[in-house]
Amino acid sequence: MIKLYNQGAYLINQNQIVFDENEAKLKGNVEEISPEIGKKGTITYSILENHNKSKEKDILKIEFDVIGGHDVNAVSIIQSARAGGLKKLSKPYIITNCHNALCAIGGTINEDDHKFLLSSMQKYGGIFVPPGLAIIHQYMREMWAAPGKMILASDSHTRYGPLGTLSIGEGGGEIVKQLLGEYYEIEKPNVVGVYLKGKLNPGVGPHDIALSLIGKVFENAFVKDSVMEFIGEGVENLQAEYRFGIDTMSTETTCLSTVWITDDKIKKYLKIHGREEEYKEIKPGSIAYYDKLIEIDLSKIKPVIAFPFHPSNVYEIEEVQKNPKEIIGKIQKEGQKLFRQDDIKFDLLSKIKNNKFYVDQGIIGSCAGGLFENISDAVDILTQKTINNTGFNMSVYPASQPIYIELMRNGYLEKLTEKGVIIKPSICGSCFGAGDIPADGEISIRNNTRNFTNREGSMSNEGQLSSVALMDARSIAATAANDGELTAATQMNIKYTKPEYKFEKKIYENRVYNGFNNPKEEVEVKFGPNIKDWPEFEELNDILILKVVSTFDDDVITTDDLLPSDASNLRSNPYMLAEHTLVMKDANYVKNAKLVKKIDEKRQQGIIYDEIKDLIDKCKPSIKEFAKADHKNISIGSVIYAKRIGDGSSREQAASSQKVLGGWANLAEEYTTKRYASNVKNWGMIPLLVEENKDIKVEDFIILPKIRKEILEEKNKLTAYIIREDIKETSFKLLDSSKEERKIITDGGLLNHYKLKNEKNN
């Protein structure tokens, strides 16, 4: 089904894989071959080279063609760019309003932000997509992604590879840099070939392929920070929307980006959307070299379910049906470990009745699921059964209004409604806890992107817990047609109608504000009462004193653990937002972080608390830098420690909220995504890697006596001491950071960095 080859591989003439270099020479009919030569034959190489502004061999400085984002972090991005001297936008910047589109909670906060963003796009020459019109990634696929382009957007699921676009999801700091004319700096990434062969069986959908792949490669970090390049004869057997569904979910593998070969199906997609002239064939050269290889036989993919609480927790549905008590019991036991509260009971075994597993809710939607073909296939399945009023419920979120209106024209919305399905607006609601929250103790099946703990709106810290499993739209519909009994779509005899899709561009022409190349300097940006400026942050001093306020032994701490997604309606008020930091994982974190912050605030006023005086006196005999330690040359902050940290969303608030509370660093054995590591750096925190002395405890003090000097001198190994009853010398590694990133950290974050730059230039 899916085979992983942890070795280099050559692709010859786009259709033959060989692992031996001599065989590659022979079959490629060349005299000289090497990995370095072969890498130049990849699609990835050609696109990166066309966008690279660096003269260094291994460091890329990328200038993107298009920038995108949405209303979760666009306000802070604009605020940061304004602070950095933004006058007008030099490239298309598209802001969709698909996350916080509902104003049911938080008074006027959401709509105030939308007015701020619209007025900003008018002033600086950007593009504004009003609430309810489209989910960010569907709009970008329909209107902007095209072969050979590169797109950067402030959402982790920024993936437009099937359209020949190499795209990356990052936090707001990286967006700000692009808006201000700076580059995206990375080392040349590895390229992993994903060779598709065969043809899917009826009833198997894109989520089945994507989840099966995630289940194979997430835990072993097989594609971490790499570009996955989809190749092979199997690609032509997948419709464009199937490719989109797989591609969007690739974020959950922890890869950096994706790109696919293009063909007539992509040409047709662009033609339907009025952009046929942007099509060009994208494929590898006659010889291409991949650092690793994944082989997927599409004919052997079966419907799967990803159980709580991660997209990699994957089982074949047929396997669950055969052994429900054994598998569900295992899932329940593993899931319960994630909750520290004794009164929280994660219970799935009660969902087994007569040896069959039942769910309470089904959702089809999000950027990965709310596509025309997904929904129309689901309609074909649901025509056989009406969803009754016994408890199971179902909703559908079309990914854009053009999809919505085409479903209407084809009569599919009427059919869905007649069968008891509720049609929702084109927003990300069900994906991150802003709609269709299951009741306490219930489980929902969704073809959304994630199923992390608490992501869907349940508040385990208040005694509530619901959970989500991920499935393909077809099997969700099959389960709905079977009264909530877990069912694979392949187990139903369905004739899929596959209607032709027609795109109505006027929907966007009438409502989207496009001010690119037409900034209006006279427009005043509209500030709502909840849009607050960021606190002022201090530069990093010579000596850093950290106090450990939280430690976690979970396998991974996600961005939803760091800052629950349901708090995102407070995104424009950093003080209120910070109150929710780690609230689900450690009820004492905010209080303890504030106590450390207060110590540092007093230190900045020249007052050193006795606790710190005693610490300095204790360290003076062992740490020579402490001989001259005073309030002017030390910084004091909090730190958290985790095994693996940062899986999930690109929301920079997961890092910035720690900074607002006085955080100066993260300690981790691994940073699971580059985007989270970038957020940590851009908010002036230090991403420290723990390679030894992993016995870190709450209340420990950690001293980095030469921190500023060592970071600026580009040292990777940082001198450190762990202080308890005794003083233990150790070291931490600074996560790979460019010279510019090191300067951002020592300046105290990107906002300070720009402020200092402006002061210097003036």
**pLDDT 10s digits, 190-217:** 999 999 999 999 999 999 999 999 999 9
At the top level of CATH, the class of 66-185 is alpha beta
Residue 342 has pLDDT above 80, yes or no: no
The predicted structure's pLDDT at residue 357: 94
pLDDT value, residue 664: 97
Confidence of residue 105 (pLDDT cuts 50, 70, 90): low
Instruction: Give yes or no for residue 715 having a pLDDT over 60.
Output: yes
CATH superfamily entry for domain 2-48+189-300: Aconitase, Domain 2 (3.40.1060.10)
Q: What is the pLDDT of residues 482-522, one digit of tens each?
A: 889 999 999 998 999 999 999 999 999 999 999 999 999 99
Element (H, E) at 199: none
In this predicted structure, what is the pLDDT of residue 458? 61
Confidence at residue 404, expressed as pLDDT on a 0 to 100 scale: 93
* pLDDT score at 66: 96
pLDDT at res. 520: 95
Identity of the residue numbered 1: M
Alpha helices (H) in 482-609, listed in sequence order: 506-511, 559-562, 574-578, 589-604
**Tokens describing residue 500:** 């032709």
Q: What is the model's pLDDT at position 568?
A: 67
How much is the average pLDDT of 277-293?
Answer: 95
Asked if pLDDT for residue 674 goes beyond 60, the answer is: yes
| Residue 544: pLDDT band with limits 50, 70, 90 | very high
Residue 576: which pLDDT band, with cuts at 50, 70 and 90? Answer: confident
pLDDT bracket for residue 315 (50, 70, 90): very high
In order of 579, 664, 685, the CA distances from 661 in angstroms are 9, 9, 12
Question: Coil, strand, or helix at residue 537?
Answer: coil
d(CA 400, CA 97): 12
Sign of CA dihedral 472, 477, 481, 483: positive
Q: Read off the pLDDT of residues 590-648 as tens digits, 9 standing for 90 and up.
A: 999 999 999 999 999 999 888 888 888 898 888 988 888 888 899 999 999 999 999 88
pLDDT at 762 > cutoff 80: no
Q: Name the fold adopted by 543-761.
A: Aconitase; domain 4 (3.20.19)
Q: Token pair of 493, please? A: 């005899």
pLDDT at residue 154 greater than cutoff 80: yes
Please name the residues in contact with 427: beta carbons below 8 A apart, sequence gap of 6 or more. 98, 99, 101, 102, 131, 132, 135, 397, 434, 435
Pairing of strands 557-558, 634-647: parallel
- In the predicted structure, residue 73 carries a pLDDT above the cut 60: yes
Q: Give the range among 290-294, 304-308, 558-562 with minimum mean pLDDT.
A: 558-562
Residue 347: pLDDT band (50, 70, 90) is confident
Question: Among all chains, which residue has been given the structure tokens 């999000």?
Answer: 366
The confidence score (pLDDT) of residue 585 equals 87
Q: What percent of the chain has pLDDT over 90?
A: 60
pLDDT reported for residue 144: 95
Read off the DSSP letter of residue 453.
T
- Residue with token string 């559908």: 396
Average pLDDT over residues 11-22: 89
Residue ranges matching CATH 3.30.499.10 in the chain: 66-185, 309-506
- The structure's pTM equals 0.91
As a whole number, mean pLDDT of residues 16-30 equals 84
Tokens of 28: 């490629």
- Read off the pLDDT of each residue in 105-122 and give the average, rounded to a whole number: 84
Measured CA distances, 31 to 10, 27, 559, 639 (Å):
15, 11, 50, 55
What's the chain's average pLDDT?
Answer: 90
Q: Mean per-residue pLDDT for 107-117?
A: 85
CA distance 402 to 380: 20
Q: Which residues is 689 bridged to in the sheet?
A: 668, 733
Reported as a pLDDT band with limits 50, 70 and 90, residue 758 is: confident
Average pLDDT of 374-393?
83
In the chain, ranges of CATH 3.20.19.10 domains:
543-761
- pLDDT tops 80 at residue 390: no
For the cut 90, the answer to whether the pLDDT of residue 339 exceeds it is no
Q: Is the pLDDT of residue 435 over 90?
A: no
What's the pLDDT band for 100 if we cut at 50, 70, 90?
Answer: confident
- The pLDDT value given to residue 102: 64
Q: How confident is the model over 682-699, as pLDDT tens digits?
A: 999 999 999 887 889 999
pLDDT number for residue 638: 97
> Residue 131: how many CB atoms within 10 A of its CB?
20
| Angle between helices 172-179 and 74-83 in degrees, nearest 10 | 40
* pLDDT (0 to 100) of residue 124: 96
Residue type, 344: I
| CATH 3.50.50.60 at 309-506, yes or no | no
**Does residue 50 carry a pLDDT above 60?**
yes
> Is residue 76 pLDDT above 90, yes or no?
no
Confidence of residue 565 (pLDDT cuts 50, 70, 90): confident
**Can you tell me the mean pLDDT for 752-758?**
80
Length of the chain: 762
Mean pLDDT (whole number) for 676-685: 93
Q: Residues 267, 279: contact at Cβ < 8 Å?
A: yes
Strand order of the β-sheet with 16-18 is: 16-18, 9-12, 287-290
> Are the beta carbons of 193 and 270 closer than 8 angstroms?
no
pLDDT in tens, 437-469: 888 888 889 898 888 777 765 666 566 778 889
Q: Which two tokens stand for residue 272?
A: 């339907």
Where residue 352 falls among pLDDT bands split at 50, 70, 90?
very high
Cβ–Cβ under 8 Å, residues 707 and 540:
yes
- Predicted pLDDT at 692: 82
Question: In degrees, to the nearest 5, what angle opens at C-alpha 174 toward C-alphas 76 and 182?
Answer: 115
Is the pLDDT confidence value at 44 over 90?
yes
What phi, psi does 247 have (nearest 5°)? Answer: -65, -45
Q: Band the pLDDT of 343: cuts 50, 70, 90.
A: low
Tell whether the model's pLDDT for residue 104 goes beyond 60: no
427 pLDDT more than 60 = yes
Give the separation between CA 466 and CA 440, rounded to whole angstroms: 5
Within 10 angstroms of residue 542's Cβ, the number of other Cβ atoms is 17
